[in-house]
Amino acid sequence: MNPETAASPARLFFALWLPQTVARQLHTRAGGIVGRSGGRLAREESLHLTLAFLGEVDERRLPELQRLAADLRLPRVPVRLDRLGFWKHNHIVWAGCGEAAPELTTLAGELQRALVAAGFLDAERAVTPHVTLLRKAAHPGELPALPAQEWSAGELVLARTWRTDRGSTYEPMARWPLQ
């Protein structure tokens, strides 16, 4: 095991991963903001939109979790990110959308319902769809407009995160197609 991860067990979450072209666009834009805001740029390859955060899961329950995800069988999700924003309470700069597609709300809702029923989550939580671009940022001032970034998400991803000295690391573990 990587010594950096030994002291902090993996925590799991479900997400939509960004296509490479969109991730590159957003990472480049975030690179243009960090000079004003400071903070830590999320790595281009780890950019994602979280649907449900589970925290630590006993690895003996992983097969059950994987079956749960495989049984969902939900449609592809159109995603449109068209604005940049800053949240003071957690110091992140994000890309998000005015209104989430109903397919995204349905996917997050069905997923969370199944996770609650199986005891992986205490309660459902409303999802505010966003992609975190910068962490530990100060107020960046007025943010530039974001030309809409649109794609059709075709995979539900189970990923893990762990904290290291250099921030959090995110790694996809399993994927299921959305049709």
Residues within window 127-156 making contact with ligand 2AM, judged by CB under 6 A? 132
By CB under 6 A, name the one of 17, 81, 161, 178 that touches ligand 2AM: 161
Distance CA 106, CA 75 (A): 9
Shortest Å, Cβ 147 to ligand 2AM: 22
For residue 137, the 8-state DSSP code is P
Distance CA 129, CA 100 (A): 7
Q: Is 13 in the site for ligand 2AM (CB under 6 A)?
A: yes
The two beta strands, 167-177 and 155-164, are antiparallel
Shortest Å, Cβ 4 to ligand 2AM: 16
Residues within window 51-80 making contact with ligand 2AM, judged by CB under 6 A? 53
By CB under 6 A, name the one of 46, 50, 112, 149 that touches ligand 2AM: 50
Residues within window 113-132 making contact with ligand 2AM, judged by CB under 6 A? 132
Closest CA to 154 of 124, 131, 177: 177
Considering the complex, state which of residue 56 and residue 73 has its C-beta at the smaller distance from ligand 2AM. 56
Cα distances from 37 to residues 32, 94, 105, 140, in angstroms, run 10, 12, 31, 4
Q: For residues 159 and 175, is the Cβ–Cβ distance under 8 A?
A: no
Considering the complex, state which of residue 110 and residue 124 has its C-beta at the smaller distance from ligand 2AM. 124
Considering the complex, state which of residue 132 and residue 149 has its C-beta at the smaller distance from ligand 2AM. 132
Shortest Å, Cβ 13 to ligand 2AM: 4
Helix (H, G, I), strand (E, B) or coil at 156: strand
Considering the complex, state which of residue 73 and residue 136 has its C-beta at the smaller distance from ligand 2AM. 136
The two beta strands, 130-135 and 48-56, are unpaired
Binding site for ligand 2AM (CB under 6 A): 13, 50, 53, 132, 161
